Amino acid sequence: MKILMVCLGNICRSPLAEGIMRHLAENNGLDWTIDSAGTANYHVGDPPDRRSVKVAQKHGIDISHLRGRQFNAADFEQFDIIFVMDVNNYRDVIGKAKSAKDKDKVALMMPDQSPVPDPWYDDALFEPVYEMLYNACSERLERLNA
């Protein structure tokens, strides 16, 4: 399974989702490829936001080595599933799709379709965002591995 996590900046939400899903896949003995990208190019080459690094570290996951990159249409060829964090990400990713098959690969991260809030302007959101992503990744992994 090849999974891409996508948010706006690729420094807060999607690197967390990448780290969590990789951690869960490894714990389950699954040889999955997990990556992340941003729809914007603001943070290409940057490490994750220090608040995301810190909350991941607190839960035993190291994401400090990840670097930001921008989503591009070639990602539709590389990945089986593209999980997006909110409807803006969904619109931007779908906007680069070249076929119905590409579009079918895109889904909201949360199984109940709710948005994962952008924590960029609110320090207090990093922990709840971590919890949301952990629960979502656990549920997604269980279903994909069934």
Q: Which residues are catalytic?
A: 7, 13, 118
Can residue 12 be called a binding residue for ligand 4NP (CB under 6 A)? yes
Does residue 106 contact residue 94 with C-beta atoms inside 8 Å?
Answer: yes
Residue nearest ligand 4NP (C-beta atom): 9
Strand-by-strand arrangement of the 81-84 sheet = 33-38, 2-7, 81-84, 106-108
118 binds ligand 4NP (CB under 6 A): yes
Q: Residue 46, class by beta-carbon neighbours within 10 Å (0-12 exposed, 13-18 middle, 19+ buried)?
A: middle
| Per CB under 6 A, 9 contacts ligand 4NP | yes
Residue 76 or 126 having the CB closest to ligand 4NP: 126
Question: Binding segment for ligand 4NP among 8-16, 25-33, 56-64, 102-110 (CB under 6 A)?
Answer: 8-16
Per CB under 6 A, 42 contacts ligand 4NP:
yes
Q: How many residues bind ligand 4NP (CB under 6 A)?
A: 10
CA distances from 144 to 27, 115, 117, 140, 141 (A): 15, 21, 24, 6, 5
Q: Which residues bind ligand 4NP (CB under 6 A)?
A: 7-13, 42, 118, 120
